[in-house]
Chain A
Amino acid sequence: MIEGVSLFEIMSLTTILFFIGIYGFLTRTNLIAMLMSLELMVNAEAINFVAINKYLSPAVLQGQVFSLFIIALAAAETALALAIILHLYRLTTTIDVKEVEELKY
């Protein structure tokens, strides 16, 4: 725990960060930018887990280990996503989100 800083503040921070990510996801027109917004969200969660663990149940390391796994999974996910996005780029030479609006209705 950080002296003088309560969990409320940390969680508010992560919540705001999370929703900034969501906002980014909702408004970005570029697939990579959307992916970056996702990273913001994942980070928010990782902080959450660590902070909650540190503040509320420091004896058990569940949250802290969880956040490690989150990072690992985020890495894998990002790698896969980027591979697909890049493949799309090679097919269409653009990564605008408009390119993936063909399947609809």
Chain B
Amino acid sequence: MNAFSYIYLIPLIPLLAFLFLGFTAKKIKEPVSGYIGTAGLLSVFGLSLYTAYKYFFEVGLVNGKYEPYKVMIKEAWVHFTDKLAIDLGILIDPISVMMLIVVSTVSLMVHIYSLGYMHSDTGFSRFYAYLSLFTFSMLGLVLSSNLFMIYIFWELVGVSSFLLIGFYFEKPSAVAASKKAFIVTRFADMFFLIGILMVGYFGQSFDFETLNSPSTYETIQAWIVNHQIFSFMGLSLFTWALILVYIGGMGKSAMFPLHIWLPDAMEGPTPVSALIHAATMVVAGVYLVARLFPLYYHIEGGTALQVVAVVGAFSALFAAIIALTQEDIKRVLAFSTMSQIGYMMLALGVSGFEGHEGLGYMAGMFHLFTHAMFKALLFLTAGAIIHAVHSNFMKDMGGLHKYMPVSSIVFLIAALAISGIPPFAGFFSKDEILTAAFEYNKFIWFIGFLVAGMTAFYMFRLYFRIFFNKQTDYGDHKPHEAPKTMLIAMVFLAVMTVVSGFIPFSTFVSADHKIFHSHIHWGDPLVIASILMAASGIGIAYLMYYKETAYPQKVATSMGNGYKWAKNKFYFDELYIFITHKIIFDKISKPIAWFDRNVIDGFMNLLGVTVEKTAEKIRFIQTGRMQDYAMYFVSGVIAIVMLIVYFR
């Protein structure tokens, strides 16, 4: 066995916690269930750290390259053919270990945070059960060694997200949001599944190691060249397969146009938003692309990767525009998340493969890591605020700085980080993305650059409006600082936000698993430009929002319809509702249901009715008159004779 044979414990512990809490949800009272869940996560966190240490510093690096390790739990869990099977295995390589750290850290923090946040909620135990389920699924997802296995956990995170969004199941909006989230991601998963089927068909394997090995993509590439007819819209079917897989990732990662579920998902408890909809699950799409990166990069010259980049860039811009106008703080954060994930996608999309060319890849992963920290922090802080003022809307807030100083400071740290102000974590990762993009395509770089400024603006708009701006009268119900458990989590993440930028990420994660070194060149005009951009964004926000001013209103009016559209998220919800309800439900499903009841069933009934009617009618042939009967006798003779004569 190899060095990581204990690794199955990492997903197993949360699973056991889930089962235990699930079956005893009625009997175990708060806070015991919380402690159980947290204790489980603590051990997972420990194991993750141990794994990371062991991998990165002890066994992983061989000749300057990180060798993947694989722990097989059950070979051929489902056996399809001799080559295709779902193997349950754990793959340990740089990105999975990195994700392990992200997931376990954020999850642990959320567990701790929730001890305070979910205090005296009737569903306390249920909440922890769900959290454990989610953690299990997410850990499973990141550790999967097999494309199909990732799909399994993909679905499981989907369902835990569904359960957690709909946690307040008596609230119709929460139920609707959970439904929407599940169905939209499920819709994307359908493409993912088709993609998997195609990858399996062409690649003849579901195993990541096999798929990512040069021999596989060379074979496929050769096949593509030889089979030009198997193409659709100019792209080979395998590229389409990768795009379909990416659509799955788009659904999970809320990329345009499958993003509509994410804002609504904020109906869930805030810690959940922090964990699932900011730090971990939503980046699954990024992780998926990173997982299959060699395929994306090598097949047909990276056409699929271009799609990733374009979609990522567009989503980043699109979400940032919407985020500028939102009033609900969690929604601002949600769109911010979407925008940042767009960034990561963009980074992957512009990446090369080997050495320094793989900067984008590394930067994307790096951004994933830092973003997880600061975005989780933002959400947790937002949770503390909502906890304090019992509202999600900025109009109900203002001047909170004096009531909640700690929150204010950690929020500021996170906001600076996301805006890309050095020395906070976001700066390093974002800057490397922009560098990579600049080398790849100026236009994409420009989008990223623009988005960076917008990000700084809307984050500080948020910050100022919450903590400064007008002095709202909160009545007798004065806001107060969050309880200790919540603060511990927030402060820990704040520390992470500050320090994680200094991790030499490129020595750990790279597209070809080989170490390379990347440095920030402080004098580089790109760096200066981006810092300036962020600063100007902050500045404008300061001017507009530090005090209550009339500028925002003016700007909004001057933008006219543009503002309205952005505020209404460009009417995408309405479009989707139109498509699903008006077209699919009313125009397809209803006619089909009608058709079934009236035409097909009607036909069967008609058969019955016809027989009955005929029976009713011909009954009167039997008149009761003997002569008529005799008549039939004689006619019978004549008829039969005629027939016989005719047929003979």
Contact = CB atoms under 8 A, between A and B. Distances in A.
Interface of A: 22, 25-28, 34, 97, 100-105
A25 B622 contact: no
A26 to B, nearest CB: 5
12 contacts: A22-B630, A25-B627, A26-B627, A26-B630, A26-B631, A26-B634, A100-B626, A101-B623, A101-B625, A102-B624, A105-B620, A105-B624
B569 to A, nearest CB: 72
A24 to B, nearest CB: 10
A104 B626 contact: no
Interface of B: 619-620, 622-627, 630-631, 634
A13 B17 CA distance: 107
Give 8 closest A-B pairs by Cβ, nearest first: A104-B624, A101-B624, A105-B619, A26-B627, A101-B625, A25-B630, A105-B622, A104-B622
A26 B622 CA distance: 16
Given A26-B630, A26-B631, A105-B619, A97 B624 contact: no
Interface centre among A97, A100, A101 (most CB of B within 10 A): A101
A97 B625 contact: yes
Contact of A22 (B620, B623, B625, B634): B634
A103 B624 contact: yes
A15 to B, nearest CB: 13
A105 to B, nearest CB: 5
- The B interface is mostly helix, strand or loop, or mixed, namely helix
Contacts of A105: 619-620, 622, 624
Contact of A97 (B619, B626, B631, B634): B626
A34 B624 CA distance: 16
Contacts of B623: 101, 104
Nearest to B621: A105
A34 B625 CA distance: 13
A105 B619 CA distance: 5
Nearest to B624: A104
Contact of A27 (B619, B622, B627): B627
A52 B620 CA distance: 42
A50 to B, nearest CB: 24
Contacts of A104: 622-625
A89 to B, nearest CB: 16
A104 B618 CA distance: 12
Contacts of B622: 104-105
A97 B627 contact: yes
Nearest to A100: B626
A100 B619 CA distance: 18
Contacts of A28: 627
A18 to B, nearest CB: 11
A100 to B, nearest CB: 7
Contacts of B625: 97, 101, 104
B390 to A, nearest CB: 79
Nearest to A26: B627
Contacts of B627: 25-28, 34, 97
A27 B630 CA distance: 10
Nearest to A103: B624
Contacts of B631: 26
A65 B624 CA distance: 37
A22 B630 CA distance: 8
Contacts of B624: 100-105
Contacts of A34: 626-627
A59 B625 CA distance: 45
Contacts of B620: 105
A78 to B, nearest CB: 17
Contacts of A22: 630, 634
Interface centre among A22, A26, A27 (most CB of B within 10 A): A26
A105 B615 CA distance: 11
A97 B630 CA distance: 13
Nearest to B634: A22
Contacts of A27: 627
A34 B620 CA distance: 24
A103 B627 CA distance: 14
A100 B630 CA distance: 14
Contacts of A103: 624
A32 B623 CA distance: 21
A32 B236 CA distance: 95
